[in-house]
Amino acid sequence: MKMKSSTFRAIVRKVALAVLTVCGAQIASAANVTIATFNGPAMLELKKLSASFEGANPDIKLNWVILEENALRQRATTDITTDSGQFDVIAIGTYEAPQWGKRGWLVPMTNLPADYDLDDVVKTARDGLSYDGQLYGLPFYVESSMTYYRKDLFQAAGLNMPDQPTYEQVKQFADILTDKAKGQYGICLRGKAGWGENMAYVSTVVNTFGGRWFDENWKAQIDTPEWRKAIGFYANLLKNDGPPGASSNGFNENLTLMSSGKCAMWIDATAAAGTLYNKAQSNVADKIGFAAAPVAVTPKGSRWLWSWSLAIPKTSKSQDAAKKFAAWATSKQYIEMAGKDEGWASVPPNRKSTFARPEYKRAVPFGSFVLKAIESADPNDPSLKKVPYVGIQFVAIPEFQSFGTVVGQAISGVVAGQISVDEALKAGNSAADRAVKQAGYQK
């Protein structure tokens, strides 16, 4: 018996429709996880390796939004404060996590996989990402700051970098090693405006020169002799011995300059070691030496403490999938994968077991030095004089990201030669005072 062609076509259509319906249901049941992060080397490696996570979790689809650091902070803050729910995972740090957790904007990091081993995660990172004993972000990496220098250039000039340099010594070295005709600069430092860009570094300079953001009564202390000396020193150092356009250089720009052999010294995050010691990414991988972050009047607050973490907004519609990804990205298994793929110098250090691994110790000769710096940095005692706030390279209040950026813009203007130190500090002092008065900190 022959089937009519019209009947046959009808059956085919029904079958096709059934298949499409099933496929559509499967697609609809897949959890979409949108990740907002910054364009640093470790995060770009995470994006690359995340194909492995998706392969093992076909019901989870990852979408990436990768931004410049200042832009990430703006987008993440806007998303979280307006309940827009654009992101399921956001890269935030020790400034945001406790404050946002306190306000109920983040999902607590509880019920982690049995093999996650939270106790293995560096304690200062966990503490910095917690509020009232509750963790609100899983540390992707933890860092302090230190001095990188070119051993070959120092040796050729007959110079010796001490384990603990002073800023006066750094200036002397930079003056000697600067050769602008050769495109060789004695020092590279952050100049790009932003509370987490130039002010992350500049705050440590202010601290070690004896300055502070506020006195014990929340009166701004920016227009003071300590700040004038610190900012004058920093700006002149960059003007005399830094690269052209230093006021536009942030972490990534200086990392490129240092790894390409343009800088004799660089004071910045310990996390930069992954790139600087990687022969595939650095022209000077076998020429890099290290020392502690420089000091001036006091060692207090001379090096920062920061942890980039993966956090989940309460507005996420895919919280379980987002937490599964965050746990995977900060796990021992991910560290193993990253070490094999990019080399052990490039793994994001967040765990004590990573610092203890022979492969990591061989690749990063100063790993124990970095861990000690991280574990000894004290956000509760960041300056020579008493302060009412917590934080080394930031003031842990919501208003800081606003007035901190204003101060950063003014100081970047000093480096660019657009305004004087006095003008910058008067403007910054007014902005900080106004912000804490309006917020009710000053009594």
Instruction: Report the DSSP beta bridge partners of residue 106.
Output: 313
Burial 26-59 (b: 16+ CB within 10 A, else e): eeeeebebbbbbbebbbbebbeebbeebeeebee
- In the prediction, which pLDDT does 372 show? 85
Question: What is the chain's length?
Answer: 443
Per-residue pLDDT tens over the stretch 221-235: 999 999 999 999 999
* Sheet (strand 288-292) strand order: 265-269, 145-150, 288-292
Distance CA(383)–CA(30), nearest Å, equals 50
For residues 341 and 347, give the distance between their C-alpha atoms in angstroms, rounded to a whole number: 9
Mean residue pLDDT across the chain: 92
Residue ranges and CATH numbers for the domains of the chain are 31-143+306-363 (3.40.190.10), 145-304+381-438 (3.40.190.10)
Distance from CA of residue 326 to its chain's centroid? 17
> Which pLDDT score, from 0 to 100, does residue 257 have?
98
Predicted local distance difference test score (pLDDT) of residue 346: 85
Which pairing describes strands 89-92 and 306-311: parallel, antiparallel, or unpaired?
Answer: antiparallel
Is residue 189 a contact partner of residue 267, using CB atoms and an 8 Å limit? yes
Asked whether 33 and 60 are in contact (CB, 8 A), the reply is yes
For the chain, residues with pLDDT lower than 70 are: 1-29
Q: pLDDT tens digits for 62-106?
A: 999 999 998 999 999 999 999 999 999 999 999 999 999 999 999
Cα–Cα nearest to 259, from 237, 243, 274, 242: 274
206 neighbors 384 (Cβ within 8 angstroms): no
In angstroms, the CA 151 to CA 124 distance is 31
